[in-house]
Amino acid sequence: MRNALFTTTLFGGLCALASTAAAEITITDNFSIGGRVRQGIAFAYDPSIVRGGGVEVGQMNYVFEVNSTWKPAQTVTVTGNFWLRGDWYSDLGGDLVGPGIPDYASPGYTDLFDYHLNRRGGGRPAGAQAVPPGDPFGSNDHQNRFLSDFNDEMIREAAIKLTDPGNRFGLKIGKFVRGWGQSDGLRLLDVLHAQDFRQKFIFGDSDEMRIPSWMAAVEFNFDQLGMGEPFRAIGIKKPKIELIYMPEYHHDQFIINNATPGNATSGGLYGFPYPALIDKGSDRGIPFFGAHLTDRSPARFNFLEPTLAGRFQFQVFGGEATLNALYAYQELPIVKLTGSNLVIGNAFHDERNAAAVIPLTLEQTQGAVQAPGAYVSYLRSANPTVEGIQNIFGCDGSAGPTCSVNVKFDLDYRYRRKLIGGSFTRDMSELPMGPKDVTPVFRTEFAYEFDKPFNRSTATTLFGVKEEGTAALIVDPANGVTKRDQISVMTGFDYFLWVPFWTEQASSVFTSVQLFTIVTPNAKELLFQAPYSAYGAKLHGVQNYGTFLYNHNFDDGRLFVEGLGVYDVQNRGWGIRQRFDFNYFGDNIRPRIELTHFDGRREQGVFGIMDQVDNVEFSLTFQF
């Protein structure tokens, strides 16, 4: 708790500093500048990641942001938004521990080595080691300390917008984001931009999670162009169309907590956990196997193969509707086996401290793992031993393990994404409800994605055997990857609630309930998301989610309370985000308390992957 005391003292110092800061900056009538400074301290409390229980400092996210707007003419607007953000946790945080590779000394090899997420462990042994230490792995790579790549991470917006005096068209060009869709927690139509999961996962604010790109957006107003009459003839009012051209590509940003030396990475509290490696044929762990991951992405800039999108907006049946289309690249990867390295002289995958490293091709790797009498076959025998496994590797295991394997995977983002969709929102004025006859707002969205790529949860090996779980990833990608169409539908209602027995209620409570259904025809034997396959995390042919959002101002607006809950029906997982904003300190200082809690079965769906990320965050924002 010494680190917790130190960081709390630092937080108090920031509060004092913010209290003396300037309130605002005014330049000229047509030029404004503002910004914010935010520092948070999150305390993790899930026992699976906090050694010995209790709480530990989990994150210390900060952001320094400056934004500006300049209007040199009535029809020209220049905007800029720049920020520096990161996480001090790796320098000042507590000792969080995640799962590493299988502990070869545990029963059935199913226990996992402890993996320190922010420091080296108890020492990485070299050579023969009959009984491993409890925590041989760790990371100190600090990759979240400063998210400071100027183009990719610091420019939030640098754009110029040109508008027609007659409101016939508008053109915006530069680096910025466009938010489509209105769903909470899950997104169906908000698909123009990749998302950054490194700090809040799915419970981050959508405007902060979207990754901006260099792009151009042009909008045409058909009424002002004198082309609205054909639309009015079929009942469509106020038609507009927006066209997007985006030559810069980004994929979703996340970090896998990978304990494999030479490819060790740590995302801290919100790092995706190293998957449990389990052989479904024997229910035994897969010892001495590590993973080396390589991103395979499209070109960052490609003017001939850009993201193309369009949105047609209009009024119909008394509501607001859109029709959307997207042609882009995938934001999440497909896992592809490319080969492996046999590490001679080191049982902990450390190629730098090995006697020899022998590269194996894709075919050789499959043979070494799945051929009759090879690794998987021996693992499923009556009484496999560490010595026997080492002998399979061609090493003498009589004095203890001295060999290991690093399997090489590509994280391949080079699949195209083809999606169409639409939305409709309408105030249901025919249905007044409650003590003040408030009418609900109906919302719906749908999206249809063509040829979405999936890893298979069951795949046929070179030897004609069907493998399930982890072993299904050790196959030729031609047998391990397939494509399916997928349709997603959201239906929801917003309601401004007046509680009948709350006599002193000064304003309504905003509530929103949304139900999601995702249908993937012929979904049998597909993975929800590779590589989390060891416990049968298969894709459900019909997947349902429910969300509930509410917010309300108390104490004359000085206390703002907001809650968001998401429930995964098929996987029986859930997550909540509860916020309390305290607006008692003027217009500039904004303290916040935020609770985030996930609950799910191990590696089952999004909440099973993030099950260990429970935390309470205290933050302070100074805005100007």
| Residue 379 is assigned to a structural domain of this protein | no
| 150 contacts: CB under 8 Å, gap ≥ 6 | none
Task: Give pLDDT, residue 535.
Answer: 60
pLDDT tens, residue by residue, 140-161 = 667 788 998 999 999 999 999 9
With cut-offs at 50, 70 and 90, classify the pLDDT of residue 357: very high
Comparing CA positions, the residue from 283, 336, 280 lying closest to residue 468 is 280
pLDDT at 9 over 60: no
pLDDT at 339 over 50: yes
Q: What is the C-alpha to C-alpha distance for residues 609 and 600, in angstroms, rounded to an integer?
A: 8
Please state the rounded mean pLDDT for residues 285-290.
92
| Residue 275 is assigned to a structural domain of this protein | yes
| Residue 529 is assigned to a structural domain of this protein | yes
SS3 12: helix
Comparing CA positions, the residue from 181, 157, 163 lying closest to residue 219 is 163
Average pLDDT, the chain: 89
Q: What is the C-alpha to C-alpha distance for residues 119 and 146, in angstroms, rounded to an integer?
A: 17
Reading the block at residue 207, the tokens are 């405007």
Is residue 10 within 8 Å of 40, Cβ to Cβ? no
Please state the rounded mean pLDDT for residues 218-235.
95
| Residue 358 is assigned to a structural domain of this protein | no
Q: How many domains does the chain have?
A: 1
pLDDT tens, residue by residue, 537-578 = 788 999 999 999 999 999 999 999 999 999 999 999 999 999
| Residue 391 is assigned to a structural domain of this protein | no
Comparing CA positions, the residue from 64, 66, 67 lying closest to residue 86 is 64
CATH number at residue 68: 2.40.160.10
pLDDT tens, residue by residue, 302-323 = 999 999 999 999 999 999 999 9
Which one is predicted more confidently, 185 or 592? 592
pLDDT tens, residue by residue, 450-492 = 999 999 988 888 888 888 888 888 999 999 999 999 999 999 9
Task: Give pLDDT, residue 4.
Answer: 35
Q: What is the C-alpha to C-alpha distance for residues 247 and 299, in angstroms, rounded to an integer?
A: 10
Report the DSSP beta bridge partners of residue 175: 158, 214
pLDDT at 19 over 50: no
Comparing CA positions, the residue from 614, 621, 591 lying closest to residue 43 is 614
Task: Give pLDDT, residue 203.
Answer: 92
| Residue 349 is assigned to a structural domain of this protein | no
DSSP string, 285-317: E-TTEEEEEEEE---SB-SSS-EEEEEEEEEET
Q: What is the C-alpha to C-alpha distance for residues 265 and 249, in angstroms, rounded to an integer?
A: 23
Parallel/antiparallel/unpaired status of strands 416-427 and 289-296: unpaired
Angle made by CA atoms 29, 35, 41, in degrees to the nearest 5: 165
pLDDT tens, residue by residue, 86-141 = 998 878 767 888 888 888 989 999 988 888 887 655 444 433 343 455 567 777 66
Parallel/antiparallel/unpaired status of strands 31-44 and 61-73: antiparallel
| Residue 362 is assigned to a structural domain of this protein | no
| Residue 169 is assigned to a structural domain of this protein | yes
pLDDT at 20 over 80: no
Task: Give pLDDT, residue 135.
Answer: 62
Q: In 318-385, which ranges are continuous DSSP H helix?
A: 362-370, 375-379
pLDDT tens, residue by residue, 426-458 = 999 999 998 889 999 999 999 999 999 999 988
With cut-offs at 50, 70 and 90, classify the pLDDT of residue 536: low
pLDDT tens, residue by residue, 27-53 = 777 899 999 999 999 999 999 888 777
Pick from 155-164, 186-195, 237-246: least confident: 186-195
Task: Give pLDDT, residue 134.
Answer: 58
DSSP string, 185-222: SS-SS--SS-BB-TTTGGGS-HHHHB--EEEEEEEEET
pLDDT at 265 over 90: no
pLDDT at 22 over 50: no
- Residue 321's domain comprises 2-335+412-623
